[in-house]
Structure 1
Amino acid sequence: MTERTTRRTLLLAFASAVPVAALAGLQGSAAADPVYPSQGDVDAAQSAADAKAAQVASLQAQLAAQQDALDAAQTKLSVAAEDYDEARALLQQRTEEATAAQAAADRAAAAYAQARTALGRVASEQYRGVSDGWSPLATVVTTGDIEGYVNGQATLDHVAGNRADVQQEAADAKALAQSTAAQAAAAKTAQEDATTKAAAARAVAQQAADAANSVVASTQQQTDALLAQLATLQQTTVQLEQQRQAGLEAERQAAAAAAAQAAAQAAARASSAGGGSAASVRRAAAPTAGAGTAVDWALAQLGKPYVWAADGPDSFDCSGLTMQAWAAAGVSLPHSSRMQYSGQAKVDLADLAPGDLVFYATDTSNPSTIHHVGMVIAPGTMVEAPHTGANVRTSSIYRSGLMSLGTRPS
């Protein structure tokens, strides 16, 4: 092979391996060597890529931290709002009790006053009989009228017996009046205490609501800024980054739902195997008539905003929604998720039917930490008034804090 042929073969091989644009730069200088990135260029590019990846990871971590902070603020408000709902419901009970106790005390006082009047009348009648100088014994001595004596003595005995009866009635009435007066005073004190607690709980809930609203607003602003940075770094658009974050959040919620469902099933198996609380818990019977009405009513509220302590018609909190939904079906529930749990028959999660209620707590072993309730509309799905910044919606029942038993209002 000649030298010319060899050179031609090498040139053809080089041309096939190098882009046309690169070859264009070589024209005019047949003797020039191809330009390749140096090791320094490669290292710099790798460093830039690593820095970009680190920035993306940092921004993603900040977004996750923001979501955690938002979740914490919403849970804190949910707890505070439930504390207020419970305190308000208890205040209503204490007010009704105080009103009933005072009414009973007033009736007892009136009965005592009547008994005292009757006692005074009997005493007056007996006094008049003696003071008039009449005596059965004097009658028989002066007239020999034994029959008159017997009849007169019977009259005195009757008067004396009647007086004893009236005295006993008066004593009983006095004791009842004193007892009911004490109960009324205690009920009034309990009402005043409940009023103070309700006011304090409302103040705490308002603070939590203000804080949650602030977190919601700041989170939105920070999220917008972070998404803009992510879009720049990854050479996408803010819209695509928003879609990506929504997808990541959906994945997170799905994972949490799967974990909550697995935990609930494990708890149910453990309860069944060990006898659990079946013997001590009042279990629900067949689904309550009117459950369909309650579900339809709740679904008609979709899209209305969550407002703590609200019970409609334009906004709701969690227990306000379930209370009004069941009220539409003729069942009275208190405006408190804890009381809706404690006051109703229980049902296993596996046996939930439309209209049943499911509950969420910070400690699932302690019902006093319940802070949220939703209404089942289909297997694994509920309608709820979720939290500040959100509207009445449907969602999975499976999430962190799910209680192992629901309730069936009746």
Structure 2
Amino acid sequence: MTERATRRTLLLAMATSVPLLALGGTAVADPVYPSQDQVDQANAAAAAKAAQVDALQARLTAQQDQLDAAQTALSVAAEDYDEADALLGQRTAEADAARAAADRAAAAYAVARVDLGRMASATYRGTSDDYSPLTSALTSGSVDDYVTNRATLEHLTGNRADVQQRAADAQALADSTSAAAATARQAQQDATAKAAAARTAAQRAADTADALVASTQQENDALVAQLAQLQQTSVALEQQRQAGLEAERQAAAAAAAKAAAEAAARASASRAGSGPSSGSASVRRAAGPTAGADTAVDWALAQLGKPYLWAADGPDSFDCSGLTLRAWGAAGVALPHSSRLQYSGQAKVDLADLEPGDLVFYATNTSDASTIHHVGMVIAPGTMVEAPHTGANVRTASIYRSGLMAFGTRPS
């Protein structure tokens, strides 16, 4: 077909597809405009769709917030149990030591009473005849004999006083150790009750968190599918979008946590320079990196992918302090199975000076170490390995998140 023929065909098609209106002998295209009702309906539909999208997104965010809160509650409850269990071990050891000391004191008192009885009997027999001062004077054949007899009497009298004193001391020791043992037994009983209550609370929190993880995943999947339908995208694309939004949320939280930690560090440094009365000036600071830190880090990294389980310390699952205690145990350093005790019992490190192997801590109130509920191990600047929470596995993550304490620790 020639160019001219092609042009003619196109013109003919256009002419037959566009309605013409004769006006004064001139044919023009009839403009078609949507009515105001159509515009209003389209706007209303778009607004309704946007509102649905916003509502679904808000539900997703609320679901994640609820899950975060449940995981934090489990972390706190699990730490309460870990701490109570560690303290129960201490109280049990103290009670055992106190009972052993009381038994030894009681035995010593029994021996002292026997010695005192024997001495009393011998003294009684001696003063009735052989060892009275008058008898000694009357029966002495000479002054030398009298002096010898008198010295013997004084020796026996002094020895009796020694035995009496030893018996009195033994009785006092037996009484005090018996009282200490009773106190230690009561402390052990209290610690046992506290550990049992903490275990029950932790299991309840774990059950709640486990159920919420499952239900949240199901609801999130349904919400994402609805979003994809509303926005006319694929589910996979919407899942990518949600992952991006979550990454943005975590990045914002990390930035805020880092700023807060740096501000706390500056405030700590300022207080430390203000004089010996400052609380931070009394913080026991760590020296150089601990020998064995590389071993601890390597051991912790070898556990990547193993599941979180509260109160677990391996070999197949871990909670946060269970992972760090086993990692440092592989390096020959003993730590308690409690993030709070791992914080309170070790030398402190400023966040800016953290080295691989150092521990970082998280609390519901960063000014109160008794609210610590999580610990991770630094493996590189700004990065840690951790056993995070129920439903997750041992992983690497940024150290910067809400609740980061202003100091880490350096086990030694």
With structure 1 as the length reference, what TM-score do the two structures score?
0.90
The equivalent position to 1:110 in structure 2, one of 100, 107, 110, is: 107
The equivalent position to 1:76 in structure 2, one of 73, 76, 85, is: 73
Deviation at 1:126, TM superposition (A): 2.2
Q: What aligned pairs does 1:81-96 form with structure 2 within 5 A after superposition?
A: 81-96=78-93
Q: What aligned pairs does 1:273-288 form with structure 2 within 5 A after superposition?
A: 273-275=270-272, 277-288=279-290
Deviation at 1:277, TM superposition (A): 4.2
Q: Which amino acid aligns with 2:156?
A: V
Aligned length: 393
Q: Which amino acid aligns with 1:201?
A: A
SS in 2 for 1:279: helix
Q: Which amino acid aligns with 2:201?
A: V
Contact 2:213/2:391 (<8 A) preserved: yes
Deviation at 1:147, TM superposition (A): 2.5
Deviation at 1:231, TM superposition (A): 1.1
Contact 2:136/2:150 (<8 A) preserved: no
Counterpart CA distance in 2 for 1:143 and 1:186 is 58
Counterpart CA distance in 1 for 2:56 and 2:47 is 14
Unaligned residue ranges in structure 2 (runs of 5+): 1-6, 273-277
Counterpart CA distance in 2 for 1:171 and 1:269 is 59
Q: Which amino acid aligns with 2:264?
A: A
Q: Which amino acid aligns with 2:324?
A: T
Runs of 4+ in 1 over 6 A off after TM superposition: 27-32
The Cα offsets for residues 346-381 of structure 1, whole Å up to 9 and x where unpaired, read as 110000011111111111111111111111111000
Aligned match of 2:388? 386
The equivalent position to 2:269 in structure 1, one of 255, 258, 272, is: 272
* Residues 134 and 354 of structure 1, relative CA distance in 2, 3 Å threshold: closer
Counterpart CA distance in 2 for 1:348 and 1:78 is 24
* Residues 23 and 127 of structure 1, relative CA distance in 2, 3 Å threshold: farther
Q: Are 1:257 and 2:240 matched, yes or no?
A: no
* Residues 49 and 150 of structure 1, relative CA distance in 2, 3 Å threshold: same
Mean Cα displacement is larger for which, 42-51 or 296-305? Answer: 42-51
Deviation at 1:34, TM superposition (A): 5.8
Deviation at 1:48, TM superposition (A): 1.5
SS in 2 for 1:354: coil
The equivalent position to 1:214 in structure 2, one of 211, 227, 232, is: 211
Q: What RMSD over aligned residues (CA atoms) do the two structures have, in Å?
A: 2.3
Q: Which amino acid aligns with 1:311?
A: D
Aligned match of 1:44? 41
Q: Are 1:196 and 2:196 matched, yes or no?
A: no
Q: Which amino acid aligns with 1:346?
A: K
Q: Are 1:232 and 2:229 matched, yes or no?
A: yes
Deviation at 1:154, TM superposition (A): 1.4
Mean Cα displacement is larger for which, 270-279 or 209-218? Answer: 270-279
Counterpart CA distance in 2 for 1:91 and 1:199 is 10
Contact 1:137/1:149 (<8 A) preserved: no
Mean Cα displacement is larger for which, 177-186 or 128-137? Answer: 128-137
The equivalent position to 1:321 in structure 2, one of 323, 337, 341, is: 323
Counterpart CA distance in 1 for 2:250 and 2:79 is 24
Aligned match of 2:351? 349
* Residues 136 and 171 of structure 1, relative CA distance in 2, 3 Å threshold: closer
Contact 1:381/1:394 (<8 A) preserved: yes
Mean Cα displacement is larger for which, 264-273 or 387-396? Answer: 264-273
SS in 2 for 1:245: helix
SS in 1 for 2:85: helix
* Residues 143 and 271 of structure 1, relative CA distance in 2, 3 Å threshold: closer
With structure 2 as the length reference, what TM-score do the two structures score?
0.90
Q: Are 1:331 and 2:333 matched, yes or no?
A: yes
Contact 2:356/2:377 (<8 A) preserved: yes
Aligned match of 1:5? none
Aligned match of 1:176? 173
Contact 1:305/1:390 (<8 A) preserved: yes
Unaligned residue ranges in structure 1 (runs of 5+): 1-11
Aligned match of 2:409? 407
The Cα offsets for residues 206-252 of structure 1, whole Å up to 9 and x where unpaired, read as 11111111111110111011011011111111111111111110111
Counterpart CA distance in 2 for 1:313 and 1:144 is 88
Q: Which amino acid aligns with 1:47?
A: A
Counterpart CA distance in 2 for 1:406 and 1:254 is 21
Counterpart CA distance in 1 for 2:197 and 2:90 is 18
Contact 1:105/1:180 (<8 A) preserved: yes
Deviation at 1:127, TM superposition (A): 2.8
Deviation at 1:151, TM superposition (A): 1.5
Aligned match of 1:398? 400
* Residues 180 and 143 of structure 1, relative CA distance in 2, 3 Å threshold: closer
SS in 2 for 1:119: helix
* Residues 135 and 73 of structure 1, relative CA distance in 2, 3 Å threshold: closer
The Cα offsets for residues 138-183 of structure 1, whole Å up to 9 and x where unpaired, read as 4664573332222122111111111110110110010011001000
Contact 2:112/2:166 (<8 A) preserved: yes
Contact 2:312/2:318 (<8 A) preserved: yes
Counterpart CA distance in 2 for 1:237 and 1:317 is 37
* Residues 188 and 139 of structure 1, relative CA distance in 2, 3 Å threshold: closer
**Percent of aligned pairs with the same residue?**
75
Mean Cα displacement is larger for which, 154-163 or 116-125? Answer: 116-125
